[in-house]
Structure 1
């Protein structure tokens, strides 16, 4: 049985505040023993994701980066990002002024806004496919701004803090590409936030990680039949809970040797 796992990072596989992933290690080790790929899917850049793939032992597989704008594999190509920046520069000044993107900020500014270390902020600034930024105008100006960009093929997604511009693409769309390529028998997707919804709904088994720090996810149709479930624990402890529950349900828990050691969460 070929199993393929897709996972968000922040608040899901990583603790919301500490970025600790150790509570998830027993489940990660079980998946490794089963030969099941774990595809990371995040708003992070390819440079940021590479760091986490190395820490988690997942460098063998591609990653879904910049909220689904691209798959990270091979040499990064930043043509999309340069095109977005050029489109912004072409806007009338009154439309452009309220938007301050990462490309308009110093690394120190990005670190201050995101809470990242200067080193991590530098990686977050290595954009290739999307431009997150802060919007300082009103709703009417924003509508005009987005309409002008849409004429250039640029879409926008609102997150908890940033308005992110890209040429489209979603986590679920990239997930479909990898499913077609890797041809698994069963897919699992785990996430904790609204931008994970499509990915969770598209999987054979979806896991909504408990999130006490943000908006979380509303009830989803798949929950009624048990195809989608919610964890009782947050972050990586919830990740382990979700993975181990599903492996038991599909009869793969016995196929992977149990791991020992203390976990917390």
Structure 2
């Protein structure tokens, strides 16, 4: 489609402030990217019901979005995915676990919208959108390390993977942000891919992109050194949240353009 760059970005703790969910500090750069025809693909553990209105608010409805940690893809202009949904099958496999093991995991589908709001800081209205799962189940595991290992191993036998994000452990049938990034990038042949993220569930996407920016998030441990940092292919933003997003991405794009001149 002739794009120079395609930007893939995580939301919570990256483009959105970890506590307030504001993106104001990134707005000027977002508007500039849109004006320049650079696609910005949201890639988040959020549901399509959450991402569709946010994508519209950000002026990015013409871009696809990666939803539920890569478990699904939301096409441009649509409010819900057209592909087959897998959430009911995932919950059935989860509920088939031995009772003691099942009780150690509580997910969004086990909580009311009020409980989701309390645990995430979302408004009740936003929490209700977060509860509309199509492909995955985020939640909290309260057991020991050994019990968590058993939990993930048993689920793996059913084809379910468990990925730790900034707040929650998310269960799905294996697709990841990096898989969807490759799928979306194929729509923009010749474009340089740039990824931004803050949490363990972003690492594969960061490493798979041509270039990447790690946005620090004081709410959790820093990501370990990543392959590519020594050469500058991956770098760290100077500050958290949308301010770090804008500073890190803006500097990277300026450098890449200067190099190509």
Same fold (TM over 0.5): yes
Q: 2:206 aligns with which of 160, 183, 200?
A: 200
**How many equivalent residue pairs?**
254
String of CA shifts for 1:128-160, please: whole Å, max 9, x gaps.
111112223344443333333222211112335
SS of 2:143 mapped into structure 1: coil
Give the alignment of 1:50-129 within 5 angstroms.
50-73=52-75, 74=78, 75-76=80-81, 79-129=85-135
Instruction: Note if contact 2:163-2:201 (Cα within 8 Å) is conserved in structure 1.
Output: no
Give TM-score scaled by structure 2 length: 0.89
Root-mean-square deviation over aligned CA pairs: 2.2
Alpha-carbon distance between aligned partners in 1 of 2:257 and 2:143, rounded to the nearest angstrom: 54
Q: State the partner residue of 1:250.
A: 256
Give the alignment of 1:125-136 within 5 angstroms.
125-136=131-142
Instruction: Note if contact 1:45-1:123 (Cα within 8 Å) is conserved in structure 2.
Output: yes
Give TM-score scaled by structure 1 length: 0.87
163 and 246 in structure 1: CA distance in 2 versus 1, 3 angstrom threshold: closer
Q: State the partner residue of 1:31.
A: 33
Alpha-carbon distance between aligned partners in 2 of 1:39 and 1:146, rounded to the nearest angstrom: 29
Alpha-carbon distance between aligned partners in 1 of 2:28 and 2:184, rounded to the nearest angstrom: 25
97 and 235 in structure 1: CA distance in 2 versus 1, 3 angstrom threshold: closer
Q: Which has the higher contact order (CA 8 A, sep 6+)?
A: 1
CA radius of gyration, larger in: 1
Unaligned runs of 5+ in 1: 253-265
Unaligned runs of 5+ in 2: none
In the TM superposition, residue 206 of structure 1 has moved relative to its aligned partner by 0.9
Q: State the partner residue of 1:47.
A: 49
In the TM superposition, residue 161 of structure 1 has moved relative to its aligned partner by 4.2
